[in-house]
Amino acid sequence: MRKKIIAGNWKMNKTPSEAAVLASEIRNKISDAKCDVVVCPTAVCIPGVVSALEGSSISVGAQNVHFKESGAYTGELSSAMLKDAGTLYTIIGHSERRQYFGETDETVNLRTKAAVDGGLIPIVCVGESLSERENGIMPETVCRQTKLAFLNIQKDDAENIIIAYEPIWAIGTGKTATAQQADEVCGIIRNTIKELYGEDTAEKIRIQYGGSMNAGNAEELLSMPNIDGGLIGGASLKPDDFAAIIKAAD
């Protein structure tokens, strides 16, 4: 049985002081969570959130990581920097980074390898646009993204990577794939991992759903056989809602 994992992507929200308060509120509401719980604040908020969660079972993640260890990359953060700051996870290839900041399948792969080498657990995002779904090329899109993200990743490392299925048309729109639609695509992703690494790895790897999961739909989505958790956006900024999603995962 794969352990569920719920990760909150706070995106560009909360000042450092506000993020520390939010982290404390979440900690107080989910002290007995049975699933893995991760919160991913902006980089400037990481130290305060790590401090607020010290001694709890909640892990901290980053929202991005650079693929070089150091160098002339103004504004970027390496895996070593993030690890030293107290993070355990990092989101990679979120649709917003692909859409607004030039992220490509190639850079997703480079970041994934850098995260693995640096001791971070990647949460690798894949997902189709509305036009790709409507034109029947959703399977090809998510298969390609998955295969390229895992290029040259060894089997033992692959088993620890989290995949987040994010239908782009459901990010921040309030639209949500039905539980059956989400499970179908997560199944396609799992079969892609099976092609790459075999059935054993495919059964071990955890796949989240990341398209507007909330307190109202989490229980149904998380009951699906191929959905092992959620990458939560807006609802992760609301302690009560985030706690309800975690309860559904438990």
Judge whether 106 counts as a catalytic residue.
no
Which residue among 94, 96, 128, 132 is the active-site one?
Answer: 94
172 is in an annotated binding site: yes
Q: Among this protein's residues, is 94 annotated catalytic?
A: yes
The catalytic position among 54, 128, 166, 219 is 166
Distance of alpha carbon 35 from alpha carbon 58, whole angstroms: 10
234 marked ligand binding residue: yes
List, in order, residues 6 or more apart from 112 with CB less than 8 Å away: 92, 93, 122, 124, 149, 150, 153, 161
Give the residue among 109, 102, 193 at the shortest CA–CA distance from 148.
109
Q: Is 211 annotated as a binding residue?
A: no
187 is in an annotated binding site: no
User: What ranges in the chain are assigned the alpha helix state H?
Assistant: 16-29, 46-52, 79-85, 95-100, 105-117, 130-134, 138-149, 155-158, 179-197, 199-204, 218-222, 239-249
Q: Which residues are catalytic?
A: 94, 166
Q: Which residues define the annotated binding site for substrate?
A: 9-11, 172, 212, 233-234
